[in-house]
Amino acid sequence: MLDIFHNWGEDLKVGNGGDLALSSGSDTINQRVLRRLLTNPGDYIWNLDYGGGLGKLVGQPVNSRQIEAVISTQILQEAAIPVSPAPRIVTTVTDAAQGNVAVNITYSDPGSSNPVTLNLNVG
């Protein structure tokens, strides 16, 4: 299945031929993971259980364990993420007063088994 290249919060990209750009490799997986983590449960009408709703944690008191739990649960529901070795999730509170948490997710690329890192900020 082909995925349109789309980073969360950005416009769609145009390919060299003027059509919509397609994603490939780890870009596809990272985009799928971000889409899953940032989509609110109930917002995707074809699968109401889809989504981690990390965006709802913005402005809330910092709870890095809750963030890790949401990511751990959701990431393994993404078909492209291998269960073994298990993805590694590290959260670092960067500004407790503002509720900012840096998240580092490392997983194995299913095609090459090389580690892939995805970084995002919650807060």
Which of 62 and 117 is assigned the larger pLDDT?
117
Decide if 11 is inside a domain.
Answer: no
Decide if 42 is inside a domain.
Answer: yes
CATH number (domain holding residue 115): 3.10.450.40
What domain range is 56 assigned to?
A: 27-122
Percent of the chain scored above 90 by pLDDT?
Answer: 56
pLDDT band at residue 75 under the 50/70/90 scheme: very high
Q: What is the mean pLDDT of the chain?
A: 89
Q: How far apart are alpha carbons 69 and 65 in whole angstroms?
A: 6
Element (H, E) at 118: strand 115-122
Decide if 114 is inside a domain.
Answer: yes
Decide if 6 is inside a domain.
Answer: no
Asked whether the beta carbons of 95 and 58 are under 8 A apart, the reply is no
Residue 5 pLDDT > 80: no
Decide if 2 is inside a domain.
Answer: no
Decide if 56 is inside a domain.
Answer: yes
Decide if 20 is inside a domain.
Answer: no
Q: Compute CA 76 distance to the chain's CA centroid, rounded to the nearest angstrom.
A: 11
Residue 1 pLDDT > 70: no
pLDDT band at residue 41 under the 50/70/90 scheme: very high
Which of 59 and 35 is assigned the larger pLDDT?
35
Token reading at 90: 């590290």
Decide if 13 is inside a domain.
Answer: no
Domains of the chain: total: 1
